[in-house]
Amino acid sequence: MLDSQTIATVKSTLPAVAELGPRLTEHFYQRLFDHHPELKDIFNMSNQSNGNQRVALFNAIAAYASNLDNLAALGPAVEKIAQKHTTFAVSPAQYAVVGQHLLATIDEMLHPGDDVLAAWGKAYGVLAGVFVQREEQIYQQSEEKSGGWRGQREFVISEVIPQGSMIKSFVLTPVDGRPVADYRPGQYLALWVTDPSFENQEIRQYSLTRTPNGRDYRIAVRHQPGGTLSSWLHQQQPGSRLHLSPPAGDFFIDIDARTPVALISGGVGLTPMLAMLHKLAQDKHPAPVQWLHATENGNTHAFAEEVSALGARLPDFSQHIWYQHPLEEDKGTCHHRGLMDLLPLKSCFSDRAQHYYLCGPLAFMRSVEQSLVQLGVGQSHIHYEVFGPHSTL
């Protein structure tokens, strides 16, 4: 626990830190990579270049400093970050390195004096301890599961299946032939890939797209123009090898049999929803299930037949599909034209017991959340996943 003087000192510095904004974290990352270039093999450098990681880290620092006297409020954020950290195999020693360069950054940009730096050092130490403890728990839980492991495990791409013009499914089978760990529908795993064409090792998280079978995993990857790992994956054939971290993530379906559910996605955001739909179909979920999906057109509409087949196994299933720019041949294959608009479907969202799971581009999810709130849906019934560095809606 932090003493009152430390809390007061950090909070008194927070306005100066807030004024710096993401310039603080930009300086931090530059300093970190200058001194430890090996960490470029851990961080997603695409998120460094587009600024997403800098913004996410700054927001996390500001949130932590603001809640030093109410750390329980940070619980959900800590869990989300800890889950992701385990897929990068983050270690206690790396927390020490990050702390060193964070304090040096504050010193170089603000020159606040030794007392303030000592207070920030204490505060960072407490937070690092929380993460180290929770991440060790996750590592142990992953290792102790039937079919589980710790760190990285070698897998082979055993199947590659096109899903529309932009997405491919990949079935990943362990090279050692042993079983693989179960997971909760909505969770993801991380791929670790090194290749002579890469400047650095690449690590990416991809959602699992079906229920566990104990034998292999299935993911789906959208080809991002210029994306290092997505481009590499889309060039691969069965037989290519890579390494995986165990499944992780705090976004998963968690409802009882009486709860209606709406699965709402945009583009490749349908991937965690697909695993959830598999689970609901497997359980023959008796309450209503709605599938709402938006994509560009019929060419980019992935898993359409699979979704319909799963829906046919449910006693009360309905779909609404939006094509933003339908093609001539798409006539009759989608329900709505343009961007997803939930307001005309007010009757679909009248059950106050219904829960909503969202995934897709950040702007898409913000629009959907705004519509749901406008329709009277409570925030506690809205659950979402952001691909990449976390951001609040």
Active-site residue identified among 29, 64, 95, 188: 95
- Residue type present at position 71: L
Residue 136 a catalytic site member: no
Instruction: Please state, in angstroms and rounded to a whole number, the distance separating the CA atoms of residues 287 and 314.
Output: 9
| Closest to 206 (Cα-Cα) out of 137, 271, 266, 261 | 271
d(CA 345, CA 155): 44
Options 135, 202, 369, 385, the catalytic residue: 135
Catalytic residues: 95, 135
